[in-house]
Structure 1
Amino acid sequence: WKVVIFEKGPEIGKRKCLVREGQKCPPCKTCNLLCGWGGAGAFSDGKLTLSSNVGGHLADYMDESHLNELISYTDSIYLSYGADPVVHGTDNNDVQEIARQAKLAELKLIHSPIRHMGSDKSYFVLKKMYEELAGSVEFYPKDPAESLIIDNNEVKGLVTKKGKVIDAKYVIVAPGREGAGWISEEFRKHNIECENNAVDIGVRVELPASIMEELTSKLYEVKLVYNAPTFGDDVRTFCMNPYGEVVCENYEGVTTVNGHSYADKKTEYTNFALLVSNKFTEPFKEPIKYGQYIAGLANMLSGGVLVQRYGDLLSGRRSTPAKIADGTVTPTFKGAVPGDLSLVLPYRHLTNIIEMIEALDKVAPGVASRYTLLYGIEVKFYSSRVKLSNELETEGVKNLFAIGDGAGITRGLIQASASGVYAARVICERH
């Protein structure tokens, strides 16, 4: 038997992005930051969170010891292909002290040791994996799966965008966040049940690295959760990038914001996302479209990504190029257009974000500076969760597996990778 991979984007060596070269996002029909061998992980910040309590929901499908073994094995694979051996956030005294400070501000610290590759090194680690597999795995770039072939409640193969009809005993669906919309629609067509995850929408914060240095020097990434008092919604920090830069991404024609940091290239700023989580109930069934709609409003106003000073947001005024230039933070993403986020984000989201910033300021004084920059919109497209068995097989369709962020069961490199390892082990045992 053989392994065949169909991918929406190109081979890893042919993935080129103008944004990474400091130019404006065109945007491309297929975003090379997200699509191609290695997926979004190839150009991500390359954080490997080495704990079972962050980065996904795999603990819902297996016991903790099994998951920890999977994470350890997955981490060893990254190490064998060149990931940095240094692990951040292992000093228990530092963790306890930061957790104590967080509690005083009514924030909850979610701690995980982190191995950081950086956006530059992550690419080369995944490139080595590609070169290792190139001789034994059939890889078809720029030809994504378009539809599944299912007969009598058993998967039989798939049809690709270019019209290839593939017979397969086992199919693993792993479209990533970029393909989250496709997997929801395709599974709905075959009556494979999905449920709503929380919808995560917010902004990316950029400020002087010195403000966060006391925290990032000890933990590298500080994951904090706050239950905002006005509406009782959870707001969390996500994807913290010390000395990094803000970038944009393109999801099916919608431009969103993200952040990277590099192993060898440093800026004087730190950026991180503030995401508001809302769990919707019936009859709401379109979490991904909801996120695209909010991000689309920012695109409509700015042509892409909006940026606003925190002080201007509080004062009810739009930011202008002159105001941004007068501030102490120079935007690292040059393509952002100064504007007013209150014309984009719902009042509930804005209130939650402002309350979170004020809480963070108690732990890291300076976060709530009037010069702090807020970029919008940041959306995480993993908002539909496929109903799966404990073997990650779809309920009701035999031999069809769904893994990773696109299936709504993970939200980070390690658990996404581990879910693939787990599905592969299940298939090998059956075969």
Structure 2
Amino acid sequence: MLNAYHFRELSLPLQKKGEVANALAHALNLREDEIFNLEVERFALDSRKRSAPHWSYNVRFETAKKLSPSHWLVPATEKAETLDSDVFKNSIPLSKNAHVVGAGPSGLWAALSLARKGFSVDLYEQGSPVEERFQDIHRFFADRKFNPHSNILFGEGGAGAYSDGKLNTRTRNVFSSAVLADMVHFGVSKDVLTFAKPHIGTDRLVLLLRALRAEFLSLDGRIHFHTALEDLEISNSSISRAKFNGEWKAIDNLILAPGHSARAIYELLYERGVTLESKAFALGVRVEHPQSLINLRQLGPNVNTELTGAAEYALTAKTLGGTSAAYSFCMCPGGVLVPCVSENETLATNGMSYSKRNGKLANGAIVVPIPKSDSLFGGIEMQRRFEKAAFELGGKNYSAPAQTIRAFLDGHIDSALPKSTFSTGIVAAPIREILDENICDSLADGFEQFERKIPGFIDEGLIVAPETRTSSPLRILRNPETLESVSTSGLFVLGEGAGYTGGIVTSAADGIKLANRAKRIGD
């Protein structure tokens, strides 16, 4: 009879990545042939001791021997539930013809998963296929002519396609595991299943999206690009029709996955009486540093980043007497900055990395929490105010206002700026003219504390502003089990734009959750 165990924090040297069986046998004083059914559950780079970074693995295995429990070794628990065990928890009745709006992660996976179950699925996306979208974005970088439907935020893949390709999630459950398994099916490295901070890069995300689209079409799914949801008809608190590009369609259900910047959709829902609420979010700035500085401070002077990859940071600071905070968000090692625009004559920033993360500059958002507004659209109004101010201060041509962190703290404008990766250029400007005073004070306090953790953070840092699109300031209220609007039957809301997820994996998992529980009416 075999006994099952978990071993936590199994340490492997950097150059021994993946050689788990040998390291586990050595740690337990066993032979490798005495270990059976070895599974890596999770692994990470442990750089807490900067002089000795190493790989740390959590594994599950079986052996005929009885082993004494310890801090690292415990008897294995039952394996997690599967998608099959979730199906009957909360059955969601849907008509055979499903209509999905939004081709970001939640919409794509909802559409694909419903098609796999035999639904007839129409997927509507206001933007372009990812290949066209790539061309539209780079055309904007060159000529500054903004396309409101195809840009960094809108188009196949959603905002996540151009925000680094990070697959980090604090929630590992049956749905997120299914997303990662799909990604491997579509050609991504198997490491995403177990690495604590998986990343595939914007360049590889494009290939993944094309493979996903091909499977969806092979299941007789239909994608309508350049097709915007313009209106809804709701009768007796139930959805009955939807208007796309001037044409009304009778529908029994609408699965809405709008993305966190779909402001026109929020306004439409409000006008049609769908229940929304204000929610907290965060905003601030992007900062850039030499990647060599981050590597040195996080990994030490003698570490080969060919083995570890470019170093990251995750920083938090209590500020203003503990009443507020500043923290890092969406850190992109070896990455680039991009203009994050969804409305004409506004400007916000975002960061992304390609798969190799080998750029000379690192970037990360440094943001401050913003409490939910007393007015429904107060958060969006704040975002717009800052984005319009940035557009004006940057010269009204989508160049971004920028300032060294030192100049920001000392209160002067830079005579010259260090190099930046921002795709449409930067202009020396006082960042305090964009953001509210309390936000700037929190950022300043945070920078001082981050300097103590990463020496050089202030003197080698550049601010590019503003970072406003961390998450949606609104939530579309839904039933937590069926994901249906609390006010409108037949309207199902998903993902970041609905206000319930954050990032690629959790958003896609929301789509799988709905499809997994869906049952065709009449079956």
Same fold per TM (> 0.5)? yes
Q: Which amino acid is the alignment partner of residue 316 of structure 2?
A: V
**In the alignment, which of 393, 407, 411 is matched to residue 316 of structure 1?**
411
1:277 Cα deviation after fit = 1.2
Residue 209 of structure 2 aligns with an amino acid whose one-letter code is: L
TM-score between the two structures when normalised by the length of structure 2: 0.69
Task: Indicate conservation of the 8 Å contact 2:242/2:249, yes or no.
Answer: yes
User: 1:27 — aligned with what?
Assistant: 146
Distance 1:242 1:317, change over 3 A: same
- Shift of residue 265 of structure 1? 6.1
Matched, 1:343 2:433: yes
Query: SS at the partner of 1:178?
Result: coil
Deviation, 1:85, is: 2.6
Give yes or no for contact 1:84–1:115 (8 Å, CA) kept in 2: no
Give the Cα separation in 2 of the matches to 1:230 and 1:264: 40
In the TM superposition, 1:257-272 aligns within 5 A as: 257-264=349-356, 266-272=358-364
Alignment partner, residue 376 of structure 1: 465
| Counterparts in 2 of 1:361 and 1:17: CA distance versus 1, 3 Å | farther
Query: Structure 1 counterpart of 2:343, which letter?
Result: E
What displacement does 1:360 show? 1.7
Give the Cα separation in 1 of the matches to 2:387 and 2:238: 37
Following the alignment from structure 2 to structure 1, what is the Cα–Cα distance between the partners of residues 391 and 201? 28
Aligned pair in 2 of structure 1 residues 146, 50: CA closer, same or farther (>3 Å)?
same
Q: For residues 196 and 215 of structure 1, do their structure 2 counterparts lie closer, same or farther at Cα, with a shift above 3 Å needed? A: farther
Do the aligned residues in 2 keep the contact of 1:233 with 1:278 (CA within 8 Å)? Answer: no
Bigger mean CA offset, 401-410 vs 221-230? 221-230
Aligned counterpart, 1:354: 444
* Number of the residue aligned with 2:42: none
Cα separation, 2, equivalents of 1:18 and 1:148? 29
SS in 1 for 2:155: coil
Other structure's SS at 1:330 match: coil
Counterpart Cα distance in 2 of 1:392 and 1:415: 14
Note closer, same or farther for the CA distance 1:27–1:319 as it changes in structure 2 (3 Å cut): farther
Match of residue 428 from structure 1: 519
Deviations 1:42-88 (CA, angstroms, capped at 9, x unpaired): 23311111431xxxxxxxxxxxxxx6111111111112112233359
Contact 1:24 1:335 in 2 (8 A): no
The code of the aligned residue for 1:142 comes to H
Q: Which amino acid aligns with 1:77?
A: D
Mapped partners of 2:267, 2:440: distance in 1: 30
The SS at the match of 1:367 is coil
Q: Which residue of 2 aligns with 1:75?
A: 180
Alignment check: 8 A CA contact 2:376 2:474 kept:
no
Shift of 1:401: 0.7
Confirm or deny: 8 A CA contact 2:153 2:261 kept in the other structure.
yes
CA contact (8 A) 2:149 2:226 kept: no
8 Å contact from structure 2 (residues 133, 150) kept in 1: no
Amino acid at match of 2:210: K
Matches of 1:75 and 1:222, distance apart in 2: 24
Question: For 1:6-27, what per-residue CA distance to the aligned partner results, in whole angstroms no more than 9, with x for missing partners?
Answer: 1111122221346547636433
Q: For 1:375-414, what per-residue CA distance to the aligned partner results, in whole angstroms no more than 9, with x for missing partners?
A: 0011125110111111211102112111111111112001
Match runs of 1:24-423 below 5 Å: 25-52=144-171, 68-87=173-192, 113-135=196-218, 136-160=220-244, 162-179=245-262, 181-213=263-295, 214-215=297-298, 217=308, 221-230=312-321, 232-253=323-344, 254-264=346-356, 266-283=358-375, 285-302=377-394, 303=396, 304=398, 305-320=400-415, 323-324=416-417, 329-333=418-422, 335-369=425-459, 371-380=460-469, 381-390=471-480, 391-423=482-514
The CA deviation at 1:230 is: 4.3
Distance 1:340 1:31 in 2: 31
Alignment-mate amino acid for residue 292 of structure 2: S
Deviations 1:163-197 (A, max 9, x none): 12122222111111231x12321221232221212
CA contact (8 A) 2:275 2:476 kept: yes
How big is the shift at 1:256? 1.1
Aligned to 1:64: none
Whole-Å separation in 2 of the counterparts to 1:8 and 1:206: 32
Structure 2 unpaired stretches of 5+: 1-95, 97-119, 300-307
Q: Considering only CA atoms, is the larger Rg found in Structure 1 or Structure 2?
A: 2
* Equivalent residues of 2:277, 2:376 under 8 A apart: no
Structure 2 counterpart of 1:55 = none
Could you give the per-residue CA deviations for residues 242-271 of structure 1, whole angstroms, max 9, x where no partner exists? Answer: 111111121122221111111146211100
Contact 1:44 1:122 in 2 (8 A): no
**TM superposition shift of 1:430:** 5.8
Give the counterpart letter for 1:148 in structure 2: L
CA deviations 1:133-182 (Å, max 9, x no partner) are 1242111111111112211111223111x212122222111111231x12
Structure 1: where are the runs of 5+ without partners? 53-66, 91-112
The 1:85/1:362 distance shift into structure 2, 3 A limit, reads: farther
Match of 1:103 in 2: none
The residue type paired with residue 402 of structure 2 is V
**Is 1:170–1:427's contact at 8 Å kept on the other side of the alignment?**
no
Report the 3-state secondary structure (helix = DSSP H, G, I; strand = E; otherwise coil) of the residue aligned with 1:73.
Answer: helix
SS in 1 for 2:246: coil
Alignment-derived partner of residue 33 in structure 2? none
Moved more, 38-47 or 349-358: 38-47
CA distance in 2, matches of 1:287, 1:409: 16
Choose between structure 1 and 2 for higher RCO, CA contacts under 8 A separated by at least 6 residues.
1
The CA RMSD over aligned residues, in Å, is 2.4
SS in 2 for 1:377: strand
TM-score (norm 1): 0.83
